[in-house]
Amino acid sequence: MLDLSLEDRAATLNARYRNHAAVQVLRHALADPDLGKVALVSSFGAESVVLLHMLSVVAPDTPVLFIDTEMLFPETLAYQRQIAERLPLTDIRVIRASAEQIAARDPDGTLHQRDTDACCDLRKVVPLEAALAGFDGWITGRKRFQGGQRVELDFFEPEAPGRLRVNPLAHWRPQDVADYMDENALPRHPLVARGYPSIGCAPCTSPVAAGEDPRSGRWRGQAKTECGIHFIGGKMVRGPIAPDAAPEPETDTMTETVIQTAEIVPLPDAPVLVRDDGFHPVEGDPDVTLPPDTDPSTLGQYLNAGLIAVEFPAMTDGRGFSLARILRELGFAGRIRATGGLIADQYAMARRVGIDEVQIPAALARRQPAGQWLARADWRAWDHRSRLAG
């Protein structure tokens, strides 16, 4: 498929993975020969640890490109070392401008005071372009809720002239990020707690007050909002953005699809079930509970059960999806309930493999309301029962 046009490759991959969740997009797409060779570009900033952790679970040998502008906060460098030591990523590459380029264009390190676009070009854009040579795509942490052109963001985007961008977190909301970090006990960038929700280079990043746009601390007082690795009409462009070019805003504008749910139960401390029309009280005990390491060859003995629970000890553990899919392939016609560490982003995937309901704790239901679970508007046409019905 690498012979197809960039747009056709993106469309084919989006169709193939349309109802997968973030972890499954990474797990399957990175092994997909039609995607080609891919790297993760990470700033080791406020939210970077989510993708870094996912990658360490599903494909730890994927190259990680870390752009060290040599203007970063010491806390970022320490955080990068901390993450690198903690996660089993095997190919972290530190990208820097060449000493010759620095000597020629910014010998005294003050270019950012005179021309931030030229400084970003020297220290970020040019080194990244060089580092991405030979890759067919790169992974980003961009999300639909960030607004602007991102409200239509797909998992795979063409980036002229010849690369794909992979956006596994396209459907994630801010709470998904927080929940993922909590569940996996991931360390936060130390500057987040000190008022830096978006973290770039030290000379160009200031703390943000309550109520301010999270990115307002970047190049404060300047019209500049992007480092130069920005996109217009799906293309990466270098240098300053023309005033009429409508760059993508980096705001937290919420653009949630409003889903009407038939039944929203009051939320005591009891867990709830997520079904296609909203939250319900937990009812019925499973006839069988399958841990994630259940041998698939033993599933045939459970085909007469009425309700089977499949355990997900963590949201990065996809074995429960495989068990549900195999049960359906064997002809199991009862209900399948997922229990454990799933989040809203994974509901479409759960329905696709044949899971009917997801049991979640009350605290998660309060953070991720029913509309958020059902917000992937097109999953209903792709769920297991719809596909069975033709």
Contacts with ligand SF4 by CB under 6 A lie at 69, 71, 112, 116, 119-120, 123-124, 200-201, 203-204, 227
Stretch (H or E) spanning 288: strand 288-290
120 as an active site residue: the answer is no
Q: Which is nearer to ligand SF4, 106 or 248 (CB)?
A: 106
Minimum Å distance from CB 204 to ligand SF4?
3
β pairing state of 307-312 and 230-232: unpaired
* Torsional sign, CA 339, 342, 345, 349: negative
Minimum Å distance from CB 63 to ligand SF4?
22
Task: Tell me how far apart the alpha carbons of residues 300 and 85 are, in angstroms, rounded to a whole number.
Answer: 43
Minimum Å distance from CB 6 to ligand SF4?
28
Task: Tell me how far apart the alpha carbons of residues 312 and 360 are, in angstroms, rounded to a whole number.
Answer: 11
Minimum Å distance from CB 230 to ligand SF4?
12
Residue nearest to ligand SF4 (CB): 201
Minimum Å distance from CB 221 to ligand SF4?
13
Task: Tell me how far apart the alpha carbons of residues 43 and 65 are, in angstroms, rounded to a whole number.
Answer: 8
Q: Taking a C-beta distance cutoff of 8 angstroms, is the pair 309, 288 a contact?
A: yes
Q: What are the CB-based long-range contacts (under 8 Å, 24+) for 256-262?
A: 256/145, 256/173, 256/371, 256/372, 256/375, 257/371, 257/375, 257/377, 258/371, 259/370, 259/371, 259/374, 259/375, 261/370, 261/371, 261/374
Tokens of 119: 């400084």
Hey, which residues does 274 pair with through a beta bridge? Answer: 279, 358
- Per DSSP, helices labelled H in 184-231 are none
Q: Which is nearer to ligand SF4, 201 or 299 (CB)?
A: 201
Minimum Å distance from CB 376 to ligand SF4?
35
Number of H helices, E strands in the chain: 14, 14
Angle between helices 48-58 and 22-29 (to 10 degrees): 50
Active site residue: 119, 120, 204, 227, which one? 227
Positions marked catalytic: 227
